[in-house]
Amino acid sequence: MTIDKAKAVESDNNVKIEIPNSEVHMTHKQILLVFSGLMLGMLLAALDQTIVATALPTIVGDLGGLNHLSWVVTAYLLTSTVTTPLYGKISDLYGRKKIFQFAIAIFITGSALSGLSQNMTELIAFRALQGLGGGGLMALAMAIIADIVSPRERGRYQGYTGAVFAFASVLGPLVGGFFVDHLSWRWAFYVNVPIGIVALFVTSIVLNLPVKKTEHKIDYIGSVILVISITCILLVLVWGGTQYSWGSTTIVLLGIFGLVTLLGFLFYETKASEPVLPLKLFRNKVFNVAGSTTFVMAMAMFGSIIYLPLYMQLVRGVSATMSGLELLPLMAGIVTSSIGSGFLVSRLGRYKIFPIIGGGVLVVGMYSLTKISATSSYLMLSIGMILIGIGLGMMMQNMVLATQNSVKPSDIGTATSAISFFRSLGGSFGTAIFGAVLTARLSHWLPIELPKAVTNKIGGNIGQSLTLTPAQLDKLPPAIRHGIVTAFVNSLVPVFEVGVPIAFISWVLTWFLKEVKLRESSGLKQMSVE
C-alpha cells in the first residue's frame, strides 16, 4: 500500500491512516488479505440463511404454528433493515474495521440466545437481536470492497465473494439438515458462535485499512420512527384477513399510524443534518432504479423461497438434510450467474444487460413453481430453482455495482447501505405478504381436506393453530396426513402465483437502469483527490 502525505496515528497498537489528500493503492496480495477477513463475516450471514431455512419447518413445528414462520424471518430482516443505513454512517465515523467487528459480535450473541429460546416469542426477539448485527455484515463488507477495489476491477474479485455463497450453499443445508436430523434445530444457531469467534480473530489481524475519518451525527430519531412505521405496516400485512378482518379497528388504526409515521419519517429526514436515509440520493436516477428493483426483487426472493424447504419436508417427505441438498440447484444458479456476470462486467465494462436478462429468467423460474403439486418431479423443481437462482445472481450484485459506480466516492458507504436497506425491506414485506397468503389459504383448505372430527378438535383459525413438525406429520394416520399435505400444496401455489407479477415488475424496472461508464479507480483513491 502506498500512501503519500498521509498522517499516521497510533491507536490500539495498530497504525491508522488519516488521509487528507493522498493516493491509495493496494496490491492484489493486500486486497486478498483483506478479503479473507471480509469473507468470514459474509460467511456468517450466508450460512445463517441456508442453515436456518432448512431448520425452519422443525422450528415452527416445535415452538409454534405455521403462521409464526414468517416472523422468524421477518424479525431478523426488520432489525437488519433499519440498522443497515446506520452502519454506513457509523463506520465513516469510527472506521470500517471496528464497526464490522461490532456487527459480528452482536450477530453471534443473537445467535447463541436464539438457540436457547424456549418459545416463539423469545426466538423472534433474539432473531431481532441477531438482525442488529446482521445488518452490518453484508453492507460493510460491500462498502469495504468498494473502498479498495475500482468498479471496473470489482468483477474480478466478485468470484471470491461468490465462492463464499457457493461454500455456504453446499455446507449450510448439509449442516442444518444434520443438526435437525441428529442433534437439535438449536445448533442451527449455535454453529454461528465458533465461526464468529474465528471471524473476530482473523479480522483483528487482516483488516488494517486506511481510515478517512468523517465526523457524523447519527440519526437515531429517524431510525426509531422508521422502525415504528415499518413494524405497523408489517403487522397490517400479517394480521389483516387472518387474526383480524381488514376492516377491523386494529388493522385500520395500525395502517393509519404506519402511514402517518412514514410521512413523519420523510419529513424529519428533510430536516435532519445527517439523515439515516439521505433523500439527496433519490436525485440519482441510477440509485432510484437500483433501489426500487432491489426492493421488488427481494420481495419475490425472500417471500417465496423460504417456503421451498417446507414443501420438500412436508410434501415430498424428505429429511431435513435431503431438503437442504435439494435446494442446491437454487444456490448453484445464484453463485454461477453472479460469478459469471461479474467476470463479463469486468471484461466488457458494461453491466445493464445482465440484470435485464436475469429479470426475465427470474420471471420464468417463478412461473414454473406455480405448477408444483404433491407429485411434482424433482427435475421440474430443479429447473425452476436453477432459473430463479440464475436470475437473482445476475441482478443482485450488479444493482450494488451500478449504485456504487454512480454516486460520489464519499457517498459509497451510505449508498451501499441504502441498497442493502431496500433489499432487507423488500424481504420483510415479501415474507410478511406471502406468509399471510399461506396462512389464509391454509385456513380455507384444511377444513375442506381434513375429516370434520379433526378440524373440530383443533378449532379456531386452523391455519394459525396447526402445529406440526415434519417428523410428527409422518406418524399421522394416512387420511389425515394426505389431507394436510393436499391443503398445504393448494395453499402454497398461490404464494408463488403472487410472486410472479412481483418478479415481473422487478424485470420491467431493470430496463430503466442507466448505463454509466465504470470508474477505473477505487473509492479510497477517488476520495483522496476530492
Domain assignment present for residue 402? The answer is yes
pLDDT(505) > 90: yes
276 and 133 inside one domain:
yes
Overall average pLDDT of the 375-385 stretch: 87
- Report DSSP letters for 363-403, one per residue: HHHHHHHTT--TT--HHHHHHHHHHHHHHHHHHHHHHHHHH
**In terms of DSSP bridges, do strands 2-3 and 7-11 run parallel, antiparallel, or are they unpaired?**
unpaired
End position of a domain, from candidates 238, 271, 304 = 271
pLDDT tens digits, residue range 146-166? Answer: 777 766 566 566 566 666 766
pLDDT(127) > 80: yes
Most confident of 210-219, 334-343, 516-525: 334-343
232 and 312 inside one domain:
no
166 and 266 inside one domain:
no
Domain assignment present for residue 530? The answer is no
- Higher-confidence position of 520 and 269: 269
pLDDT(276) > 80: no
Domain assignment present for residue 361? The answer is yes
Report the percentage of the chain scoring pLDDT > 70: 76
Q: Is the torsion defined by CA of 306, 310, 312, 315 positive or negative?
A: negative
* pLDDT band, residue 522 (cuts 50/70/90): very low
Model pLDDT, residue 212: 58
CB atoms within 10 A of CB 292: 17
Cell 422468524: give the residue: 72
Query: Which of 210, 215, 285 is closest to 526 using CA atoms?
Result: 210
- CATH number, position 314: 1.20.1250.20
* pLDDT band, residue 266 (cuts 50/70/90): confident
First to last CA, the chain: 20
- Higher-confidence position of 137 and 32: 137
Confirm if 197 and 108 have CB atoms less than 8 A apart: yes
| Length of the chain (residues) | 530
pLDDT(303) > 50: yes
- Higher-confidence position of 124 and 12: 124
Q: Rounded CA gap, 397 and 330, in Å?
A: 16
pLDDT(142) > 90: no
In the chain, the number of structural domains is: 2
pLDDT(6) > 70: no
Model pLDDT, residue 363: 92
Q: Rounded CA gap, 474 and 313, in Å?
A: 10
202 and 233 inside one domain:
no
Query: Which of 351, 361, 356, 355 is closest to 330 using CA atoms?
Result: 361
177 and 114 inside one domain:
yes
Model pLDDT, residue 3: 37
Mean pLDDT of the chain: 75
248 and 333 inside one domain:
no
Domain assignment present for residue 136? The answer is yes
Domain assignment present for residue 436? The answer is yes
Model pLDDT, residue 360: 92
Range of the domain at 234: 220-271
pLDDT(96) > 90: no
Q: Rounded CA gap, 469 and 309, in Å?
A: 12
Residue 240, sorted as left (phi over 0), alpha (psi -120 to 50) or beta, turns out to be: beta
211 and 240 inside one domain:
no
* pLDDT band, residue 65 (cuts 50/70/90): low
Q: Which amino acid belongs to residue 310?
A: L
Model pLDDT, residue 403: 84
